[in-house]
Structure 1
Amino acid sequence: MDKVIVQAKDFDLTTEVNRARSKNPQIGAIVSFVGTVRDLQSETLKSLTLEHYPEMTEKSLESIVIKAKSHWELENITIIHRVGKLLISDQIVLVIVTSKHRQEAFDSCNFIMDYLKTDAPFWKKESSDKEEKWVDSSLNDKKQKKRWEL
């Protein structure tokens, strides 16, 4: 019962965890990650705007789910990624992984986030008190993804 959604509206962690759990007695671990808009250290961030091409983005996220399930024995994966204009502290992304075992849930959640940061086709524009600029994956994001490449 995987769930992949790209939406403008916010999400509720508790509701989504309960849905992912789905009273499945095989689930022994639930790992969730919520990414939020954080302020920049060098200047004051006013907002982050995320744009995407719907069909391409959803296929990319579904591909990440398939990759994760090919590496680990998982029950459910939820990915909810927001688009549009977001302000400081707004939630951007939710990843929930359920599995029989905790280590698989932790590892696969990290894997999914690393691939979301580098491979998901979102265009991000940061608006600060100084400028507006489009941003790409950082070198650290790319380095984190490499740890999963065999």
Structure 2
Amino acid sequence: MKIGELVKRHGVSVDTIRFYEKQQLLKPSARSDAGYRLYREADSQRLNFILRAKAVGFSLQQVRELLQIEDNKAEWHCADVKDKVQQKMLEIEQQMLELKQFHQALQQLDAACCGGPISATECSILTALEQGKPPQTEQHKEHTSC
């Protein structure tokens, strides 16, 4: 099949497929006499594998590692694959903790600001970001007409 057929089948762009080729995750099986990339069903299945791995959060490097296992299954154990999944879960849990901290910090900034029509020269959010200190909700409210 040509690249256009692969695009339609998987709902990705031509650029996406070419990107995966540049990253050496996917390669056309052959070229036509006219120079068109030609793909087999196995190439389509490989692209599906890549897209599914990306959809659950694996990075390109992690996808590359999983493809190495996929290409040489007999040399690996299920435990190796499971370790990759568990590592990814730990990575995501750490990201979730960081996002929670970001959210809490933003809540503090939000709570400290009245959001009213006063000049931004008195804005506690900007002051807290400039000084690198958490905003003081009560102090800000004393200085504004909130």
Asked whether the two chains share a fold, i.e. TM above 0.5, the reply is: no
Greater relative CO, 1 or 2 (CA 8 Å, sep 6+): 1
Q: What's the TM-score, normalizing by structure 1? A: 0.26
When you count strand as a share of all residues, which structure comes out higher? Answer: 1
When you count helix as a share of all residues, which structure comes out higher? Answer: 2
Q: What's the TM-score, normalizing by structure 2? A: 0.26
